[in-house]
Each structure stands twice: as structure tokens, then as C-alpha cells.
Amino acid sequence: MAKIKSMKNIFDLSNKVIVITGGYGHIGSGIVEGLLNFDAIVIVAGRDKDKFRERFPSQNDNLYFEEFDISKSGEYFSNRFNDFINKYKKIDVVINNAHYTKGNSQLELSDEDFLYSIDGVLGSIHKSIKAIVPIYREFGFGKIINISSMYGHISPNFDNLYKGKGCEKYVNPPHYGAGKAGLLQLTRYYASLLGKENIFVNAISPGPFSKNQIQNDNPEFINRLKSSNPLNKLGVPEDMIGPVVLLSSNASNFITGQNICVDGGWTIW
């Protein structure tokens, strides 16, 4: 009975220090609010403090903003993570949520924009992993959660989603899915490499989580997204909380190298 009672706190995040990049965006903000509700200490690492304050106007003793630019060098990542250690004493979880891209065309996409975007979707996370691993090795434990996408393992249905009625402007560009697919392999690679060192690496792949502006601007496109998954609906940021808490907590201490799809079942069709 004592063992069963102790399991009630298996999802508890009290005193865990969790760094999330880009935690004031559409999906990231939902993740942050969920982590705070489970009593984590959350560091939102991003470039825009004003956006952070706009998204989280209320004071919370467990919520912090730290300047962080994922377009910088690997040395920058290492320096900033070490700054966090000096200030917060530890890092238990890093959630690689932020990315950057340029260009939304398909065959007309320039080489420069493609390579820039691959670095923003995939290369930046590789730098993050390389920078946090020495810290985790020193502490003997750590968790990494990479936010991928359903387009990391399926391709867009261009005819059903993007043709006509103003839907063309929402087309998913080639660099995004390519980078996210690479991220899933990167997740498996480092899970395999680091598992014996008690370092866990997993991924989450959100499906259709359209922002409110798109929902208001183009209901036709939203209906197409909904009809593309078995649940016939969009995801909301709060839908990410359960998987993130699972992978951040002791509940996932025998889970590594995995990808959780949060997509309404889109990828089963």
C-alpha cells in the first residue's frame, strides 16, 4: 500500500527547473501554464521580453524570463545554460519548442532560405542538446523534450488543404517538414547515445493547432483541417500539457527515444 500511495505524486513537478524556448507563443504558452499548475519552476527562454510580459501579465513566483536567441552559436547556448545553472542551481528539463524559418514557397524557395530554415528547425535544437548534455552529465540526470510536428512523419495533402478559397497562403513549406523529420531522428539518436547516462530524450508532434487569427480569417481552411483528423477538431494549447508533464516527470523514467503525436489522430489515416 505504501508503494501505491507514493505513486500518487508521480506527475509532481515541484522544484523541477524547466527551461522552454519560445514559451510565449501559441503552443508554448499553453505548455508553460500547464507546467506552472504542476508546480514546476519555469524559465521561458526567448528573444522578446515584451511578448513574454504581454502573454503572462500576472506575477508568478515560479515563472522567469531569460534572454535567449536560438539563432546564435553553440558556444552561446553553452554560456546561457551555464548562466542558468549559476542562477537557478540546476536544470531538470529542457523543452526545445522555438524555431525560426524564412520563405513559404515550394519549388521557388531559395537555397539560402531553405538552409536558414533547416538550421532554425533542426540545427538550433542540435546546438541546444550539445550544450545541455555536459550539464546533465555533471548532475547525473536530465530530460530533453523536442517539439516536432505531424509534418515530421507525414506529408501535406495539398489538394485537400491548400487549393482555392484563400487557403494557398497557408501552404506548409518543404523545409519545415524536412527539419521536423530530422528532429525525430535526432531525438532517437541522442536517446540511444545518452540513455546509459540517465539522460532522456523524447519528442512530441503536435497536429493542427491553428492560431485564433487564422481561425477568424479563414473558416474554410479551419474546416479542412478539422476534417483531416478522426476527432474532427483543432487542438488547443492545453492539449499539450498532459504529454509534456508526462515526459518531464518521474512518470516517464522508463521512456526515451519516443514521439507522442498530439494530432487528433491525423497521422493514423
pLDDT mean across residues, the chain: 96
Q: Which range (37-46, 60-69, 116-125, 208-217) has the least confidence?
A: 208-217
Residue 2 has pLDDT above 70, yes or no: no
pLDDT (mean) for 252-262? 98
Give pLDDT tens digits for 95-136: 999 999 999 889 999 999 999 999 999 999 999 999 999 999
Q: What pLDDT is stored for residue 7 in this prediction? A: 73
Say what the pLDDT of residue 8 is: 75
The CATH classification number of 2-268 equals 3.40.50.720
Task: For residues 52 and 190, give the distance between their C-alpha atoms in angstroms, rounded to a whole number.
Answer: 31
The contacts of residue 199 (CB under 8 Å, 6+ apart) are 133, 136, 137, 141, 142, 143, 144, 190
Q: Specify the pLDDT at position 6.
A: 63
pLDDT at 111: 96
Residue pair 183/97 in contact by the 8 Å Cβ criterion: no
Order across the sheet with 259-262: list the strands.
63-67, 41-46, 17-21, 93-96, 142-147, 199-206, 259-262
CB 29 within 8 A of CB 106: no
Which residue carries 492539449 as its cell?
Answer: 239
Q: Where are the domains of the chain?
A: 2-268
Q: Is the pLDDT score of 5 beyond 50?
A: no
Residue 4 confidence (pLDDT) = 47
The whole-model pTM stands at 0.96
pLDDT of residue 1: 40
Do the Cβ atoms of 249 and 12 come closer than 8 Å?
yes
